[in-house]
């Protein structure tokens, strides 16, 4: 079945970087883009960015400009999200999510990865 399996929880210090992986299975990886969405404790959902699994094109929210890098490895059907210069307010559950189709919304979500930023 179609699924996205994310990497385990991380604890990082302020100023550090974190990389979260998202391994896809059950479908042709390059046919669907991947979005990254985060959720701070007790808060709502926040879209971070999107990457085309076909050609690597990206779009991201302005607030993450310069700190966020999204990549894919088509040989392993894995997407990666790296966030740099971490702050305490980056503490959140980070989700990867599959794009239903080109220009379409999300259909499948990963299970989430908790990233805790603490000194």
Residues that bind other proteins (CB under 8 A): 35, 37, 44-47, 50, 59-62, 95, 100, 103-112
What phi and psi values does residue 19 have, to the nearest 5 degrees? -125, 125
The nearer residue to other proteins, 11 or 100, going by C-beta atoms, is 100
Q: How far is the CB of 106 from other proteins (least distance, A)?
A: 6
Nearer to other proteins, 14 or 60 (CB): 60
Question: Between residues 66 and 103, which has the closer beta carbon with respect to other proteins?
Answer: 103
Smallest distance, other proteins to C-beta of residue 98, A: 9
**Are the CB atoms for 7 and 110 separated by under 8 Å?**
no
Q: How far is CA 36 from CA 94, 111, 119, in A?
A: 7, 12, 25
Closer Cβ to other proteins, 62 or 75, answer by number = 62
Q: Report, in Å, the least distance between residue 73 CB and other proteins.
A: 22
What's the CA gap between 63 and 119, in Å, rounded? 23
Closest approach, Cβ 34 to other proteins, in A, equals 13
């Amino acid at each position: 079945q179609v699924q996205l399996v994310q990497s385990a929880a991380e604890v990082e210090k302020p100023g550090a970087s974190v990389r979260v992986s998202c391994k896809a299975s059950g479908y042709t990886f390059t046919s669907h883009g991947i979005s990254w969405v985060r959720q701070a404790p007790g808060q709502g959902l926040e879209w971070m960015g999107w990457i085309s699994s076909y050609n690597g094109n990206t779009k991201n929210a302005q607030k993450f400009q310069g700190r966020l890098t999204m990549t894919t490895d088509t040989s392993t059907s894995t997407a990666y999200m790296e966030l740099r210069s971490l702050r305490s307010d980056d503490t959140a559950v980070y989700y990867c999510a599959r794009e239903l189709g080109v220009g379409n919304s999300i259909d499948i979500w990963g299970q989430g990865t908790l990233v805790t930023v603490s000194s």
